[in-house]
Amino acid sequence: MPEVAKKPSIHAGTGHRERLRERLLKGGAEALADYELLEFLLFAAIRQGDTKPLAKRLIDQFGSFSGVLNANPGALVQVKGMGTASAASLYAVALAARRMARGSVQEKPVLGSWQALLDYLAIDMGELKHERVRVLYLDTRNRLIDDHLTAEGSIDEAAIHPREIIRRAFDVGASALILVHNHPSGDPEPSRADIQITNRIAEAGRLLNITVHDHVIVGRGAHVSLRAKGLI
């Protein structure tokens, strides 16, 4: 009796993956829910199987889609179903997003690209679990020439020295600067310490013709400008 040729097996998840791909390509940015987009990103590292349960576990663990992409790879691999390849895949997407956002503010007048700057800061700092202080140094045309990580931890004079911030402005040839830090709590409202240190730096800058344009505090999905609130 002749042997009957077996039909090639098709993985049960193939159709679902193809449908997601088609919806993504035809529907654009809002075609997929957050967990579905995360599913799609996991396809690159997990070639077979249903990635939906893993995508939902990741969002439950880290709170949101952006929380997953901002998570440390070491924390990602602790989630059941995640390996180093899938963690690296998601980490690469997060790095790509940061570089795209950074590219939109480089070589352009920052004050004329304010929303692009805020988007960059939100992507880079909005999900941090610790406080980070940065100073954006600008040239005479208000283009970014140095994005300097000044301190990790709380914002006070123990961590931030106004004279050192102004001295670095001279070192890099800056004529203006923007202070930036995040609030890990998610609430961007300025504290008394935020306001006091900002005014000390602004006063030091005025004495040496270095303009402090603003101090932006980044929260989770929100930001506050001290300039806009009349606090500088």
- pTM score > 0.75 for this model? no
What are 42-69's pLDDT values in tens digits?
988 888 888 899 999 999 999 888 889 8
Tally Cβ neighbours within 10 Å of residue 28. 9
Of 63, 12, 74, nearest in space to 34 by CA: 63
Beta bridge partners of 224: 217
Task: Identify whether 157 is part of a domain.
Answer: yes
Instruction: Examine the domain organization and report whether 62 and 126 are in the same domain.
Output: no
Comparison of pLDDT for 98 and 53, the residue scoring more? 53
Is the model's pLDDT at 12 over the cut of 50?
no
SS3 147: strand
Would you state the pLDDT for residue 18? 85
| Residue with the two structure tokens 């020295």 | 161
Task: Identify whether 94 is part of a domain.
Answer: yes
**Average per-residue pLDDT for the chain:** 84
Least confident of 69-73, 120-124, 142-146, 220-224: 120-124
Identify the domain boundary among 71, 101, 131: 101
Is the model's pLDDT at 2 over the cut of 80?
no
Task: Identify whether 230 is part of a domain.
Answer: no
Would you state the pLDDT for residue 25? 82
How many domains in the chain? 2
Q: How confident is the model at residue 174 (pLDDT cuts 50, 70, 90)?
A: very high
The CATH number assigned to the domain holding 85 equals 1.10.150.20
Instruction: Examine the domain organization and report whether 92 and 120 are in the same domain.
Output: no
What are 178-195's pLDDT values in tens digits?
999 999 888 899 989 889
Would you state the pLDDT for residue 107? 67
- Domain residue limits at 140: 110-225
Instruction: Examine the domain organization and report whether 37 and 87 are in the same domain.
Output: yes
Is the model's pLDDT at 1 over the cut of 50?
no
Instruction: Examine the domain organization and report whether 96 and 28 are in the same domain.
Output: yes
The CATH number assigned to the domain holding 156 equals 3.40.140.10
Identify the domain boundary among 47, 67, 101: 101
Instruction: Examine the domain organization and report whether 123 and 218 are in the same domain.
Output: yes
- Cβ neighbors of 79 (< 8 A, separation 6 or more) are 54, 57, 58, 61
Instruction: Examine the domain organization and report whether 51 and 124 are in the same domain.
Output: no
Instruction: Examine the domain organization and report whether 71 and 116 are in the same domain.
Output: no
Instruction: Examine the domain organization and report whether 199 and 119 are in the same domain.
Output: yes
Would you state the pLDDT for residue 165? 93
How far apart (Å, rounded) are the C-alpha atoms in residues 227 and 232? 5
Task: Identify whether 9 is part of a domain.
Answer: no
How far apart (Å, rounded) are the C-alpha atoms in residues 216 and 153? 16
Instruction: Examine the domain organization and report whether 28 and 122 are in the same domain.
Output: no
Instruction: Examine the domain organization and report whether 138 and 114 are in the same domain.
Output: yes
Q: How confident is the model at residue 4 (pLDDT cuts 50, 70, 90)?
A: very low
Task: Identify whether 29 is part of a domain.
Answer: yes
Task: Identify whether 232 is part of a domain.
Answer: no
Joined tokens for residue 227: 């300039």
Least confident of 86-95, 137-146, 156-165, 184-193: 156-165
Task: Identify whether 5 is part of a domain.
Answer: no
Identify the domain boundary among 101, 129, 150: 101
Task: Identify whether 204 is part of a domain.
Answer: yes
Would you state the pLDDT for residue 175? 95
Comparison of pLDDT for 99 and 14, the residue scoring more? 99
